[in-house]
Structure 1
């Protein structure tokens, strides 16, 4: 799924059509000298070497990190390509 998502994201270039970059959050926080969790989880994305190179090249050209590009791709995928209502129905009964 990650390869399909990232490949389509790079091909369609939604950032050229108004999609804003999303910065990933950290999973850990420190306040008053105490470590805590933020509720965010790390996600590791495995890609082919060729696709990884495309991600790195595109991220460099856009001035964002690989993590930012991939996080934005995930947001775009679940918000616009396969939103929950598209997958489970609208919830309205006929």
Structure 2
């Protein structure tokens, strides 16, 4: 007699709650270190970062920040492809933060990559800059 484990009816875990952007490699390493030390996981860290960004709305007000366009991890010069210092980063988020951000992204008319890179740039420059 063989027994089998019950099959999940939900299917595989959904990847709905992931945004993707690109950041310089040094910032990517910095974010990962900060996440582990201060938040325990990247998911909690990115939830906190985007929540604070959405609450403070630094794109509004007296000195608004500009939306930042992330660069490509590859460039082509004279027909030759080269790797840049920019790396892809996935922001795994709770469904609640993801949904709030997605609604705001649609209202603002920016891409997910621009929204997330701008949030990361703002956080690294103004909220928790690296110590020199």
Instruction: Tell me the TM-score range normalised by the shorter chain.
Output: 0.7 to 0.9
Aligned counterpart in structure 1 of residue 55 of structure 2, from 2, 5, 11: 11
**Alignment RMSD, CA only?**
1.4
1:62 to 2:108 alignment:
yes
Count of residue correspondences: 86
Aligned to 1:82: 128
3-state DSSP of counterpart to 1:74: helix
Aligned partners of 1:80, 1:31: CA distance in 2, in Å?
34
Partner deviation per Cα, 1:44-80 (whole Å, 9 max, x = no partner): 1110122111111111111110111110111111111
Bigger fraction of residues in strand? 2
User: Counterparts of 1:20-59 in structure 2 under 5 Å?
Assistant: 20-59=66-105
Which blocks of at least 5 consecutive residues in structure 2 are unaligned? 1-44
Report the structure, 1 or 2, having the larger helix content. 1
Normalized against structure 1, the TM-score is what? 0.83
- Structure of higher CA gyration radius: 2
Is 12-21 or 31-40 further displaced after alignment?
A: 31-40
